[in-house]
Chains A and B, each alone.
Chain A
Amino acid sequence: MQTVKMVVTGPFSAGKTQFIQSVSEIDVVATERKISTEEERTVKSATTVAMDFGRITVDEDLVLYLFGTPGQKRFDFMWEILSEGMLGFIVMVDSTRPETFREARSILETFRAYAPTPYVVAANKQDMEDAWDMEDVRHALRLDANTKLLPCVATDRQAVKTVLLELLYSIIQEMDSKK
């Protein structure tokens, strides 16, 4: 059995767990705990403290694992461990919470430094009225024109599939460019 992995990262409450849940064929193995701080509790009631784990079986010989990282900075020691050997990574950002953009940028830079693997940025909650426009998100995250910034709704399986496919296309492109 061959296995490959992708990492889904991003700030606290960006929608990483939901993203994996939308495509995983197994119930996501989520290590969630109740939120301990008042400030974070206003955003959601439980959070990932170690990792989320989802699976997509391709055939009897190949399985794709999706790992979701914990969002809070205090768990960042997990990030490097989870990034080891990843095919690529997805940075999730909540388009309705500009206060998290700075952190998303920081997480993106941290993961870029870990490994020279392709990545895409998924602007989640684009279906919400108060979501930032994609171009504004691009500027706020300081993404250059070559970086793929994709609209996303983590609860929408189709949107999640598109994000995963775009990352895979980037990986293929990277492999072709090295030939």
Chain B
Amino acid sequence: MALRGNLRDFTITQLLNLINLAGKTGTLIVDGPAEQAHISFRDGKLAYAKIGNEDGSLALVLHKANKINANQYRAIADRAGQMTDKELGLLLINAGYVTQEDILVNLQAYFTDAIRKLFTWVEGFFRFENGMPPPEDRINVKLDLENIIIEGSRQLRELEELQDEIPSLDMALKFTNRPLTNVNLSVEEWKVVKFVDPKNTMRQIAGTNKLGELEIRKIVYGLLQAGLVEVVRPAGSPVPINPKMFPTQDKDEQKTLINKLIGRIRTM
């Protein structure tokens, strides 16, 4: 039976564990809330990973790692044309821009980061394409999954704890009365703070900033702990008295009913 399902029932950590133990070769495709991930394995080891629209090319990886500058990156992207990453890697090594170790270390870091991001996905559908190799023009690595799985389990525990703190992402945030001065926030935190408004739910803020559930919860938790924001019901969302709350829809009758309850309890 094909390995496919929902992340709600089978977590990324459990999937990696299965792939690792079974020594599987193929590609795991995950359709997340906003992006798609392609993670390839050879004999149960991580070979390649790509999330979203990034092409996962060697040039991009080296550029992100500051091994080549923006001009060099553009020049490579323009000229490399049909060149595979292996050919490009050899060219860069021979030209003295990078070492073979640079390439491997940075590819491993890039792929591991992609998996880390994947750990924050708790919703989405996955399928494992048995035998499907990574793109031919990309360099593969051979990374043991054990440490990644341990890290993922740690993140999962963290997520569970954060879910206790912030159970619903459908609530909004508003600033408390504390002034936002002399506060050192990271870029990611600023991105969230920028959208703090009772009109925006945390889920919407996460979506806009392409943050996973763990990431948004982490940031909001920090802001809550610092007393900068508080969780509120989204403004503009219907706040009706639930019709099922009262046996009658007449407002005056509803009020009479509550007053009757008050009277009864007072005299008990």
Against A, the Cβ 8 Å flags (1 = close, 0 = not) of B235-266 are 00101111011111001001101111111111
Closest residue of chain B to A163 (Cβ to Cβ) is B265
Flag the segment in B24-32, B134-142, B165-173, B205-213 that touches A: B165-173
Q: Please determine whether B167 and A161 come into contact, CB atoms closer than 8 angstroms.
A: no
Q: How far is the CB of A165 from chain B (nearest CB, A)?
A: 6
Contact between chains at B241 and A175 (CB < 8 Å): yes
Question: Which has the most chain B C-beta neighbours within 10 Å: A4, A85, A115, A175?
Answer: A4
Residue from the list A23, A56, A102 in contact with B164, Cβ < 8 A: A102
Q: Quick one: closest B residue to A175, CB to CB?
A: B255
Interface of chain B residues 163 through 194 with chain A (CB within 8 A) = 164-168, 170-171
CB within 8 A of B268: which of A105, A116, A157?
A157
| Cross-chain contact B165 with A86 (CB below 8 angstroms) | no
Q: Does A29 contact B (CB under 8 A)?
A: no
Residue of B nearest to A103 (CB): B164
B242 near A62 with CB under 8 A, answer no
Judging by beta carbons under 8 Å apart, are B244 and A109 in contact? no
Is B247 in contact with A85, judged by CB distance below 8 angstroms? no
Give A contacts to B, CB under 8 Å.
2-4, 23, 56-59, 62, 64, 84-87, 102-103, 105-106, 109-110, 112-113, 115-117, 142, 144, 157, 161, 164-165, 168-169, 171-172, 174-175, 178-179
| Given A4-B257, A112-B231, A168-B262: 7 more A-B contacts, CB < 8 Å | A2-B247, A59-B260, A86-B245, A112-B171, A161-B266, A168-B258, A178-B241
Sampled A-B contacts (10; CB under 8 Å): A4-B246, A4-B257, A56-B268, A58-B263, A102-B165, A112-B233, A169-B262, A171-B258, A172-B258, A179-B251
B interface residue numbers (CB < 8 A to A): 164-168, 170-171, 224, 230-231, 233, 237, 239-242, 244-248, 251, 254-255, 257-266, 268
